[in-house]
Amino acid sequence: MPTRALPLANKIFEGFLTYVETFNTYTRLAPLYFAQRNWQATQLNHRQRLRLYKDLLFQLSKVFQEILGTDSDNRKIWTLIRNEYQQLIQDRPDVELAETFFNSLFRKAFPNNPLDEELMFVMEGYNSCEIRENSELLHTYPAAMGLELIIRQILEDYDFGAPFMEKERDIEFLVEGVKKVILTRYKVEVGTKTQLLKPVFYRNKAAYLIGRTYVGNKWMPFIIPFMHGPKGVYVDTLIFDPNLMSHLFSFTRSYFMVEVAVPSQIIGFLSSVIPHKKIHELYNAIGFNKHGKTLFYRDFLYHLNKSSDEFVVAPGIKGMVMTVFALPSLNIVFKLIKDHFEPPKNMTRQEVREKYKLVSLHDRVGRMADTHEFEYFKIPLNRVSPELMNELRNTTNSLLQITENHLIIKHLYTERKMVPLNIFLETCTTEEGKRAVEDYGRAILQLAQANIFPGDMMTKNFGLTRQKRVIFYDYDEIEFLVDMNFREKPKPENYEQIYASEPWYEIHKNDVFPEDFRRWMIGRADLKPHFLEYHKNLFDPAYWNSLKQRIQNGELIHAFPYPEEIRFRSGEQV
């Protein structure tokens, strides 16, 4: 038996090395495509990197199932494989990713196994990677250089492979930005210095430098976004606001392309810059979402041990497709696809899963929540409220397994908990409501610009984040915008047409009549007129068709993750 274990451990290790090498190959293409302004290749490259992990695991798990055969669930063999694999990876600088890769393969190859603390790296690697500052990872600029020279040196140190549009103007913008935010509040002293991560963070049409300045006995973090427009590369803005910085790394954003040799060191620096982000969120943000999932689960186990509240049915209007539950003390919801859907829903469970897969591979433009998908998820039975157990049995019974001590759910999604927009609008003030419905409309239009038509746009399908940003989280009816037909309603020409009980004109499957949105979007009398006036484009078929045409022409419409008013060159096209 031991002689079988080492070759199999080697196969997993070789698979992991292939993953890392290929992941880095895709990542290294990001700066090249930025330099070329090749936005279609940028999108394709992002999707290919997202698919990489599952594609490799699918092939590797088939190999394991063929080799092991009836021994696929032999715990003694898997214990030996795990021990051999641990020896192979123990000195690697990305050991935490290697542990997660093993976990993923084990879950695919070992049939119907819940998360197994004995055979997987569930808690062992929790502190295995030291998170520290590393000077080889950073450009450091002492204050003695002088502000303008520091800014000039920064622009020299980062080569974007294309000429600047107005380099001197960029320097002026940055100098003024630093003076306004830092030098009006803090005095430069002997120990004052500025540090920037050497790796550049790429996403969509933007490149970001992440840095911090030590001043006033503390670190002041900042982010500098760069764009590459038709006239060249330029600095778009300078961000000091911690909320905006946090939003750049939000669970509603696509993952960055950033080359990293030692992931934990990048995470350590990011954690110092955006301190309230959880470590698993930061791993997600730089593209290691599978390890982010591992860390999320560790956090979940830790939270279970220190809490005592029960899992309950999530508040809000119950969905027709998903059953949703939550642990009140945890900022997460758990979503299960129901066994049966009530009319008018006529899709299958697999079709719903495909919608979630579509979202996972698509640019979420800050408006769709990221999810983690779990199989055979284990919850202590004594923590499940009777009401929730009754709801699960009535709606998702086929997904449940019950043991002596645990409820095991065969398939679920986890997602950040948000306040449903419809609930928020029931009690908020008029001013709060106006801001929320403005952002609700912006969310729909920004999704449209990313080629996503939400389908069911009722407010119950949107939620508010901690920063009161409106996010879409119901994916079962989404479609690509380019597949929809946006039409004006034909005008009735006679009495029969005016008073017909059913539409007298032909309607095809993907026909959409935007003027109908006026009837059901926002019901509150003090908010509806403001919403209708603020978002006139929502009800105009011509506007929807203009977006559709731009996307069909191959345009990538960039969604800026910060307000237009803070851009140095407001309105500059990319």
Q: Do residues 224 and 174 lie in contact, with contact meaning Cβ atoms separated by under 8 Å? A: yes
Residue 454 sits in which domain range? 421-566
**Statement to judge: residues 8 and 94 lie in one domain:** yes
**Statement to judge: residues 432 and 530 lie in one domain:** yes
**Statement to judge: residues 273 and 347 lie in one domain:** no
Tell me how many helices (H) and strands (E) the chain has: 18, 19
Residue 108 to residues 59, 113, 220, 566: CA-CA distances in angstroms? 10, 9, 44, 47
Q: Do residues 574 and 227 lie in contact, with contact meaning Cβ atoms separated by under 8 Å? A: yes
Cross-strand partners of 228 = 233
**Statement to judge: residues 406 and 436 lie in one domain:** no
User: For residue 132, what pLDDT is reported?
Assistant: 54
User: For residue 128, what pLDDT is reported?
Assistant: 47
Q: Classify residue 410 by burial, with Cβ atoms within 10 Å: 0-12, 13-18, 19+.
A: middle
Block mean pLDDT (10 aa), the chain, length 574: 81 98 98 97 96 96 92 92 95 94 93 80 62 75 95 97 97 96 87 95 97 93 97 97 94 95 93 92 96 94 96 92 97 96 88 94 92 94 98 97 95 96 96 97 96 94 94 94 94 80 84 94 96 97 97 93 93 80
Domain boundary at 417, 449, 468, which?
A: 417
**Statement to judge: residues 165 and 284 lie in one domain:** yes
Question: What is the pTM assigned to this prediction?
Answer: 0.93
The verdict on whether 309 is a catalytic residue reads no
Helix, strand, or coil here: 92?
Answer: coil
Residue 237 lies in a domain: yes
**Which is catalytic among the residues 170, 363, 370, 474?**
370
**Statement to judge: residues 396 and 533 lie in one domain:** no
H or E segment and range at residue 442: helix 430-449
Dist CA 552 CA 573 (whole Å): 19
**Statement to judge: residues 402 and 444 lie in one domain:** no
Residue 195 lies in a domain: yes
Dist CA 100 CA 98 (whole Å): 5
- Residue labelled with tokens 């991560």: 197
Dist CA 11 CA 5 (whole Å): 10
User: For residue 188, what pLDDT is reported?
Assistant: 87
Amino acid at 132: R
Dist CA 358 CA 86 (whole Å): 34
Residue 571 lies in a domain: no
Distance, C-alpha 460 to centroid of its chain:
21
Residue 246 lies in a domain: yes
Backbone angles phi, psi at 477, to 5 degrees: -115, 10
**Statement to judge: residues 398 and 359 lie in one domain:** yes
Domain boundary at 386, 417, 448, which?
A: 417
